[in-house]
Amino acid sequence: MRGAMNEQALYLFPGMDPSRRMTAEEQRAWSDRYAAGPAGVIAYNPHPGARASADLFFPTILATELLCDVLAALLVGLLGVLMTVDVDVSYWNWYGFPVSYTLAQLMDHGVGYCLAGLVLARICHE
């Protein structure tokens, strides 16, 4: 791999040279190689260095993943809060809906969307 890949990047295979335009014959040859397989993507890092050994510490990886999942759930929950502000606060303002209804909707949408976000984060990371 060191001969064909010289920097940290995502590599597609079978490869092609993106810096020049392929002829029709080269495109057919590439298509044939692709159809015959294998094909895929490689995330390659030729020099992981000291960071790689630190990243292999499982609790750090797990904590980072948990933080990302919780952040994603909170962002989804924010959508629920925004929806409540957009719709239910307007109902309170224009139509006189009770404050208790508006606050209940805020809690329902905020908590409900946060829980939905946790489920989505779990599904996306499987």
* 59-94 pLDDT, tens digit each: 887 888 889 888 888 888 888 889 889 999 999 999
pLDDT band per the 50, 70, 90 thresholds, residue 95: very high
Q: Does the pTM exceed 0.85?
A: no
pLDDT band per the 50, 70, 90 thresholds, residue 126: low
pLDDT band per the 50, 70, 90 thresholds, residue 3: confident
Phi, psi (deg, nearest 5) at residue 42: -120, 125
Domain boundaries along the sequence of the chain: 9-47, 52-124
Pairing type for strands 9-13 and 40-44 reads antiparallel
SS3 11: strand
Which is it for the CA torsion 81, 86, 88, 93, positive or negative?
positive
